[in-house]
């Protein structure tokens, strides 16, 4: 028995932060629970989205067997309504595995980007929800990464996770991942093996609290011959050869950024824009292409109503 289905969700609307590209100082518009500027909680609108997503998660078919999440607060908060009910019913493994390798994307920089809160602190915010013994496959460099490195990071982490679950004696068949926009796009690309010529192509959708589904082409275990990642060289990501064939035999995307269960529908879409590299572009964080959703014009941290009011001034 091997892993057959992967569900991927993006966190809901969050509060915002800014960064000084010269000093690397991050500042939050609203202090978050962990005190880390780039680790905010969901905005009230995002909390509402998460509840709707939770209802969807509970009803998924095939049902969720195991849950992984980025270590950032907003991703765990997004999962909470759904997994609390699943765990209460003795489903989905009863614990979330916190995986740093599924975390946020930060562009290359000479300064250190903020790291997420350690597991010990996350336990205080999400008691009895997190797996104590799980060790992250990879921890991204604090100096960020290039877009190709991000894709390779996601490919390596998924290769290791799928290998672990394929060999799990409990035989989990369905995985749920909670992550971020950039990582969600990369997950789609590395699972299917489809890498567009234009990095900014809107191929795999990642609206807030959207849901994607991937089904394995070949339902047989494929042993991994990928080298082990070395924490002493965090930017040296072992190659998986995912381009053109995908991870572990390849996967089909059967649901792409679905928002049909959300009252607000598709909101706050995102795509790659240039290198997003602080080394060559000091304004990398000021992402004009994603300042507003190309469809709804809503920025994270705003309610739908606030987004409509400010839409014209931003476009």
In terms of C-beta density within 10 A (0-12 exposed, 13-18 middle, 19 or more buried), how is residue 133 classed?
Answer: exposed
DSSP letter assigned to residue 185: H
Residue ranges of domains in the chain, CATH in brackets: 5-284 (3.40.50.1240)
Identify the three-state secondary structure at position 68. strand
pLDDT score of 219: 86
pLDDT score of 62: 98
Say if residues 95 and 66 touch (Cβ distance below 8 Å): no
pLDDT tens, N- to C-terminus, the chain (315 residues): 899 999 999 999 999 889 888 888 999 988 899 999 999 999 999 999 999 999 999 999 999 999 999 999 999 999 999 999 999 999 999 899 999 999 999 999 999 999 999 999 999 999 999 999 999 999 999 999 999 999 999 999 999 999 999 999 999 999 999 999 999 999 999 999 999 999 999 999 999 999 999 999 988 888 878 999 999 998 899 999 999 999 999 999 999 999 999 999 999 999 998 656 777 655 555 444 454 443 333 334 444 444 433 322 212
Say if residues 265 and 258 touch (Cβ distance below 8 Å): no
R_g of the chain computed on alpha carbons: 18
Structure tokens at 238: 């072992």
pTM, two decimals, is 0.90
Residues with Cβ within 8 Å of 125's Cβ and at least 6 positions away in sequence, in order, are 33, 34, 73, 76
Say if residues 79 and 71 touch (Cβ distance below 8 Å): no
pLDDT score of 22: 83
pLDDT score of 276: 61
pLDDT score of 306: 41
pLDDT score of 273: 82
Give the Cβ contact number of residue 307 at 10 Å: 23
Beta bridge partners of 214: 6, 253
């Amino acid at each position: 028995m091997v892993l057959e289905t992967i569900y991927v969700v993006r966190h809901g609307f969050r509060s915002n932060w800014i960064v000084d590209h010269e000093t690397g100082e991050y500042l939050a518009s609203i202090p978050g629970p962990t005190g880390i500027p780039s680790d905010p909680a969901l905005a009230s609108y995002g909390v509402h989205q998460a509840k709707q997503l939770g209802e969807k998660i509970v009803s998924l078919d095939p049902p969720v067997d195991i849950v992984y999440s980025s270590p950032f607060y907003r991703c765990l908060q997004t999962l909470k309504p759904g997994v609390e009910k699943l765990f209460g019913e003795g489903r989905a493994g009863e614990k979330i595995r916190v995986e740093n390798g599924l975390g946020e994307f930060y562009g290359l920089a000479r300064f250190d980007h903020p790291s997420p809160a350690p597991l010990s602190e996350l336990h205080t915010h999400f008691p009895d929800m997190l797996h104590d013994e799980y060790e992250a496959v990879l921890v991204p460099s604090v100096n960020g990464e290039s877009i190709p490195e991000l894709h390779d990071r996601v490919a390596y982490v998924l290769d290791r996770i799928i290998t672990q679950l394929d060999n799990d004696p409990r035989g989990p068949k369905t995985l749920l991942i909670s992550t971020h926009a950039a990582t969600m796009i990369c997950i789609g690309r590395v699972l299917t093996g489809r890498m567009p010529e234009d990095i900014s192509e809107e191929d795999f959708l990642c609206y807030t609290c959207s849901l994607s589904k991937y089904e394995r082409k070949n339902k047989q275990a494929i042993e991994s011959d990928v080298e082990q990642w070395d924490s002493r060289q965090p930017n040296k990501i072992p190659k998986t050869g995912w381009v053109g064939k995908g991870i572990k035999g390849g996967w089909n995307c059967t649901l792409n950024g679905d928002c049909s269960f959300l009252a607000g529908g598709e909101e706050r879409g995102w795509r790659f824009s240039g290198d997003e590299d602080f080394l060559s572009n000091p304004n990398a964080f000021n992402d004009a292409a994603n300042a507003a959703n190309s469809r709804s014009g809503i920025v994270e941290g705003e309610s739908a109503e606030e987004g409509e009011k400010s839409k014209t001034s931003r476009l």
